[in-house]
Every structure is written in structure tokens, then in C-alpha cells.
A and B are shown apart, each in its own frame.
Chain A
């Protein structure tokens, strides 16, 4: 127990990695054993992160659960990990989504062993990104996560999977090489040379070429978020990826972009961030409106959800750009909520696709009468997505608007119209799929199976509970957010 408590973060990160190797060692023909062991392995980080959640000191703004081991001494690179109020909700989200995705992958038939090996590698990469405090380590995890994603889309994806996988890979790679340049520059500019993110943030005044560095980092992260106009990989990747991988993409991967901006651009180049605030806010608003309009125009249900992700990530950017406690809290909370809600949406799309083998919105109709439970959960998810009061996204979006309105009145007013478009496409979709006359072809569709229910119920509970009582998550981030805000606004003056 003592050991577990003092090595929580490295266990959370490296257990999936060891698990991946374990899966690789299992015989490929025993598919059920592989599935069950993947489920058990992904539950371990979940349990450990609950320990983390319990032990997290909510009144402390800095890093907690710090671990540091020397790795490459020649370049002063360490395995340096820690969490604060910013990374804690993200790590929690990631470790929660992963077991659910394993359940959603249960019906993968082809190359089961390879699939779960890559999946566990992906989980290690994602958790690593959120817990790494050494910039080099951060970059390594960032890249490590790229490889499994490429294969998971490219091998187990839909008809245009090769194109989508390559596009995803190249977009992200171009972003990350720019990040690498800045990482090396920061390392060389600091004295003594270091990759320690805390130290780099503390001595950031040493860096020159600040605007250039800021953009190098920002573009790298913006591709991941994705922020318009770097979003074009997302609809392709989401549509072609298998259900569970879409869930991971939208639920966790997109958050890494926003997390990167907050963790790195905000702390290491606070003055530039302050100067670019209006620029970021404008991009956020474009994301909200553009994503929502695109979503409205989609005929493919999965593509609709993909574009809705772009729209919802716009709220995150807008909230981040406000530099108010409300806006930043709202942004991080929105990241968490969007992770939960969009995971539900993609799971639900997967459920109907498994049964009908297509996702064309217009050719459904009246499904609610044959799949009542499915209809209930989908209504809940779409209502959460459109920000219905009483559900979690309402609180985060309200906080974002509250924060943003103090700084950007007109932009926020425009952004608020995005809520209306969102409501329009959500309700219109629900109406077309679930209401109206039943399409006879689908009169025999079975309702949710036990496995599907088990994967959806926890998310439903979170959506409702956080909608009524958001403090468990908001408390985690409060102190860190106000510290972050003080850093930025202090530098701007």
C-alpha cells in the first residue's frame, strides 16, 4: 500500500504499458482471455485514479503526487510526473473512458490481440501526456500515442480508413515537429539546461522569439483540439475509426490539445498568451458557430457528432481566452463534460450502426418505439450536448459564457447563438431518428444489450450528477485555475 501511494502516477501510466506487453504474450487464439484481461488492465488505472481523486489536496494549487527519476542524464531528462488541478480531471477522464472503450470494442473480431495491444499502448500514451512534467517526456508520450492511433484507425476502421489514418498522422506529426523545435529551444535557452516544465515556467523570461515559439506550440496543439482551420483531419478520422476509437479520439485526445495550451503556452509564455487573447477567443467563436453549422448539414450521424465536437471544443477555447476564474473553470470543466457526453454520443452511434449497418440520419425514423431504452439514453446524451439545465454541460457552458462575457461582449453574444444552432441540430436529429413514422425495415431492432448498458450507465449517472452537483470536479481545479489566472494576468500588466 505504501508503495502504491508513493508511486501512484507511474503506476497509472505504466500499468497499461506493461499490460500491453502482457496482452502481446497471450496466445492470439484465446480471444476471450485477451478481451477480459484488457478490461481488467484498464480497470487498474481507473481504481488507482480513484485513489488519486481521494488523496488529492483540493486546497493546494501546485503539483501533487510528484515522482522524479533520472532517465537520460546527458540531457538532464527525467521521468518527472505530477498532477495539479488542471491535469487531475483529465487523468480521471482518461482512465474512466478507457474501460468503457474496452467494453465497446468487445465485438471486434479481427486481430483481437493486436487491437488490444495497441489500445493499451494508447492508454499509456494518453495518461503519460497528462501526468508528465518533463517536457521531453511529454513529447515522447505525445508521439507514442500517435502510433497506436494510426493503426487503430488504419486497420480496424471504415472504408476510407487508410486515407483517414494517414491524414491524422501527418497533421499531428507536423504539429508535433514544431513543438519539438520549441522544446529544444526552451531547453537551450534555460540555464542550466532543463526540460523541467515547472522550472521552464518559472524562468520563462529568459526566452526570446516569444511570438514565434508561441505560435509553434499553439499550432501544434490547435491541430489536436482541433481549432479551425486545422480541423479537417477530424471528420475523416472520426468517421472511419471504429466506435471505441472515436470515443477515445473525441473523449480524450482532443482534450490533450487544450491541455497543452493551458499547461505550456499559458505558463511558459504568459505575456504572449495575454496578447493573443482576443485572437484565441475569436477562433473559439468560429469553432462554435462553424462546427455547429457543419453538424447541422450532415446526413451521417457519426459525422454530425464529429462536427459537434468541433463546436463544443470552441467553448473550451473561448473560456480559456477569457482569463477570468469563471471562464477558465468553465473551460476545463467543459473539457471534462465534453469527454463524457461525446463518448456517450459515439457509443450510441456505434450501437445503431451495429444493428442497422449504416448511419444515414434520414433513413431512420420512429426508432424510439422499438428501442425505448436506447432512445432514452440518446435523448439524455443529446440534451446534455445541447446544454440543457440540470445536465453537466449546462454548467460548464454557463461558466464559459459568464467568464467570456466580462471580456468580450460581442463575441460572446455571437457564441451564444451557437447554443441555438446546437439545440436545432440536436433536436432535429432526435426527431428524424426516433420520432415520426417507424421505418418498417427497423421494426425488429433489439434494444440495448447488457454490455452496452453497462458501458453507458456510468456515463449517464455522471451527466446527471455533475449537472446537479458539479463540485466534485470543480473543487479539484479551483485553486490551480486561480493560480494560473494570476500568472497570466500578472504577466500581462
Chain B
């Protein structure tokens, strides 16, 4: 038997990222200034980003696919890493957990996400998912002397393990049914043997939906999200609210659109109730939150619901709208968390909504930035959040799900209440105590990038929409 060296071209970004992350792990032993580690991790994803455009193609017998679709998601992951690192530098110092491993774990989690986005085979998908999840569990518990952080890690781990088990069940069933774990081959098999109403296929699709719903925090598999978002270090919360969610959508898109592409009617019936529940619970429970991290957790649950609409709508337009939404959501959500991080200073937690009272008087710039992100999350023009929602709704109505969009816009109108409450606290209440902001050049840069992205995409969304359409090859 002859061993043929596979084409490593398509995997080059991931290989380089893995090598550099390991190198950083070693270098951490000798480098005292952790800012250097932060810079090195930005450089390492920069290298991956540089290699990305030249890496198109499939390799390892189609187990690994690097195409426009995966490249779009990898772009989101890389942007997510850069922004997360920028908002972390000062923050983890304040939390007294300024260790180099923090950045390495973020890089490994991202590597896992990149594998997921490119998975052409369910086994690769599972490997990527586990790499991402294990790194994220550790990150959630990174403030090890803090009970809430520990609780977050534990909860995330236990529930995450369940979700992985569901995924494995799903994979094994589909393997039992079709005899393959290759996504393209599964698709061919389902079409060729007319398995449309096969109960085992249905069951395995339900199991996939459960596992992925957990990753994107969709109701009723969202229970972990508020506790983990609240307990985890805020920078990690920002990272988790975008990265794993995007990775979850990447695999939902790949598995449901490609492997189960011929039975869309069946899986849409599974995803529709999930989407409605997700939008409903996310938006309604967010109304009563007093902690901003929990509120943003419920808000991110709700946003997953909107994005599911795009998946349900299916077709190229539906996917393009999900891609655009994900990118825009990443900018506005990390931006909002960056402001939350700013309020955390030595001896002051600053994660209660009441801490925002009168912020506009004491720190007008911070309040103005939060205002932009809150309006964008609400989806009010001319911010990017509006364009994102507009495109999702457009493609869902185009696919004939008008009634679903009616439900979505109603929940979206409800969401205005809790986003605006933050704005109201900042601008219309008197400051109670003087809140000290902890700023750093890195944090300022992250805020500048996210705010500029939210405003520019809001006015000129063509670039993002085109990017998504090109990524999907039309």
C-alpha cells in the first residue's frame, strides 16, 4: 500500500495557525510582557488570513473543503479573534488572569472553528467542534478564583458534552443509514435512494438540529447561555457570542443545505419551531434582565433566531443573508461587549444595567458608542443591524415564509424596549456614582473598528452583500 501525500494547500491557513499557536504557547514561557503575546496572536491569525485566499480547493479525499463559503466564515473568525484580543489586553490584567495561555486558547478555539467551517466530512466536523468546545470551556472558567466563572465553565462543559453526544448519535445514525460520513456522499445517497421520509433520517436530522442548536444557543437548548455569558470573563463572552455561533451556523449551512439539501421541507419543519421559540424566548426574557451580560446573552439568543430564518428560507439568497447577518452581528455584538468591558475597572464590576445611569454625562464618548451598538442590535437604520435584518426578512419572504417574518418583526419591535432601556439609562437618568472607565489604546482601536463597521455597512451595505454572494458563488 502506497501512501500518497495529500495536497496541503487548502489546509495551509489552519496548519500555519496551529504551528504559530504552539509556538506562542512555548514562547509564553520566556516572555514577561503579555502584550507581546497578544500581538503575536494577532500576527498569527494575520498570517492565516494572508494564506486564506490562496488556499481554495478540496483535499484529504474531500474531507476538507476550502471554498468561498468556508473562507467567508474564516474571515469572521479571524476578525473575531483580532477584536477579542484587542478588548482583552487591559481587561484580563484587571481581572488578574493575565496569562499567555489565554491567547493560545483563543487561537485553538478558532482553529477548531476553521475546521468546522471547512469540514467536508462529519468526522472532521466533530473534531473541529470538540477542539473549539474544549478550548471554550477552559476560557469560560479562566478567572479561576471567581466562583461564577467556575460555575460557567462547569455548566458549559456538562451541557456541551451532552450536545456532543447528540451529535455523535446523529453521525452514527446517518452512517448506519448511508454507510458514509462524507457530506457530499450522504447527499447523493439520500437522493439516489429516495430517503425523503425515512424515519431514521428524520431522527438523525433531529439529533443534528439539537447539537447545533446548542452551539448557536437556540431555544430550548439555550439554558447554558445566560449563566455562561454572565460568569465567563467578559472578553470571552464577547468571543463566544460570535465565534462558536458563527461556527455553528457554518456547519448548519453545510450539513443541512448540502447533506440534507434534498429534504429541505423535512428539516425546515424541525427548524421553524426552534426559530420561533428562539426569537420569542430571547427577546421576551431579555426584557426582565438587570445584568447587562445576561441581557446581551438573551439578545444573542434572539439574534440566532433571526439567522435561523435565513437558513429556513434556504437557497442562495437565504444563505447570503445569513452570512451577511453573521458578519454584521459580529461587529455590533463585540462592540457592545467592548463598552461593557470599559466599565469594568479595579474594584468595580460594572455589569449591572443600573451602572449605565447617566453615562452620557460622565463619559459621553462611551455612551455614544453604546448607543450606536444598541440601535444596530435593535435594527434601526442607518445602522448595519438594519441592513442585516432587512436582508434576512427579504429572503425569508421571498421563500414564502411571510408569516414567520411577521412573527420575527413583532419580536424585533419588542426587542427595542430592552435595547432602548440601556440608552434611556445612559441619556435620561442622572449619574449616581462616578463610574471610572478603563480604556487602553487597544480597546479604543477595537471600538473604532466596530463602530465604523456598523455605521459604514449601514449606509453602504453593498460590499458585505457582494462579499457574501461571491462567497456563495453567484
Contacts and interface: CB of A to CB of B under 8 A. Distances in A.
A146 B381 CA distance: 10
B462 A177 contact: no
A31 B352 CA distance: 35
A410 B193 CA distance: 71
Contacts of B462: 72-74
A166 B397 contact: no
Interface in B390-441: 390, 393-394, 397-398, 402, 405-406, 409-410, 412-413, 416-417, 420, 424, 427-428
B382 A188 contact: no
Given A74-B465, A188-B394, A188-B397, A165 B409 contact: no
A438 interface: no
B413 A185 contact: no
Interface stretch (A90-98, A136-144, A398-406, A450-458): A136-144
Contacts of A25: none
A279 interface: no
A187 interface: yes
B61 interface: no
Interface string A134-160: 000001100110110011001100000
B461 interface: yes
Contact of A144 (B381, B410, B424, B465): B381
B69 interface: no
A170 B427 contact: no
B461 A72 contact: yes
Contact of B393 (A74, A178, A184): A184
B466 interface: yes
Contacts of B375: 147
Contacts of A181: 393, 397, 402, 405-406, 409
Contacts of A74: 461-462, 465-466, 469
A187 B424 CA distance: 35
A237 to B, nearest CB: 14
A428 interface: no
Contacts of B460: 72
B380 interface: yes
Contact of B427 (A155, A169, A178): A155
Nearest to B398: A188
A33 interface: no
A144 B382 contact: yes
Contact of A166 (B390, B398, B413, B417): B417
Q: How large is the interface on A (under 10, 10 to 19, 20 to 34, 35 or more residues)?
A: 20 to 34
A166 B416 CA distance: 10
Contacts of A150: 420
A22 to B, nearest CB: 17
A178 B406 CA distance: 8
Given A72-B461, A144-B382, A188-B397, A169 B409 contact: no
B397 A185 contact: yes
Nearest to A180: B409
Q: Which secondary structure dominates chain B's binding surface?
A: helix
B310 to A, nearest CB: 14
Q: How large is the interface on B (under 10, 10 to 19, 20 to 34, 35 or more residues)?
A: 20 to 34
Interface string A235-278: 00000000000000000000000000000000000000000000
A468 interface: no
B409 A178 contact: yes
Contacts of B465: 72, 74-75
Contacts of A185: 397, 402
A347 to B, nearest CB: 25
Contacts of B409: 177-178, 180-181
Interface centre among A74, A161, A166 (most CB of B within 10 A): A74
A143 B413 CA distance: 13
Nearest to A189: B397
A162 B393 CA distance: 31
Contacts of A165: 424, 428
Contact of A151 (B406, B412, B427): B427
Contacts of B386: 143
Given A147-B375, A166-B420, A181-B406, A174 B428 contact: no
Contacts of B397: 181, 184-185, 188
Contact of B394 (A140, A170, A173, A184): A184
B381 A143 contact: yes
A74 B462 CA distance: 6
Given A151-B427, A177-B409, A169 B420 contact: yes
A177 B398 CA distance: 17
Contacts of A144: 381-382
Given A151-B427, A155-B428, A184-B394, A174 B413 contact: yes
B380 A147 contact: yes
A337 to B, nearest CB: 32
A459 to B, nearest CB: 31
Contact of A140 (B381, B405, B416, B424): B381
A78 to B, nearest CB: 13
Interface in B364-398: 375, 380-382, 386, 390, 393-394, 397-398
Contacts of A178: 409
A140 B380 CA distance: 8
Contacts of B398: 188
A177 B413 contact: yes
A187 B317 CA distance: 15
Interface centre among B381, B406, B469 (most CB of A within 10 A): B381
A216 to B, nearest CB: 9
Interface centre among A139, A180, A187 (most CB of B within 10 A): A180
A154 B424 contact: yes
A23 to B, nearest CB: 15
B416 A169 contact: yes
Given A75-B394, A147-B375, A173 B428 contact: no
B468 to A, nearest CB: 10
Contact of A162 (B394, B424, B461, B466): B424
B395 to A, nearest CB: 10
Interface in A404-455: none
A170 B420 CA distance: 10
Nearest to B417: A170
Nearest to A177: B409
Interface in A51-109: 72-75
Q: Which 3 A-B pairs have the closest CB atoms?
A: A177-B409, A140-B381, A74-B465
30 contacts: A72-B461, A72-B462, A74-B465, A140-B381, A143-B386, A147-B375, A147-B380, A150-B420, A162-B424, A162-B428, A165-B424, A165-B428, A166-B420, A166-B424, A169-B416, A169-B420, A173-B413, A174-B410, A177-B409, A177-B412, A178-B409, A180-B409, A181-B397, A181-B406, A181-B409, A184-B393, A184-B397, A184-B405, A185-B397, A188-B398
Given A165-B424, A185-B397, 14 more contacts: A72-B465, A74-B461, A75-B465, A143-B381, A144-B382, A150-B420, A154-B427, A161-B428, A162-B428, A165-B428, A169-B416, A173-B413, A177-B412, A185-B402
Interface of A: 72-75, 139-140, 143-144, 146-147, 150-151, 154-155, 161-162, 165-166, 169-170, 173-174, 177-178, 180-181, 184-185, 187-188
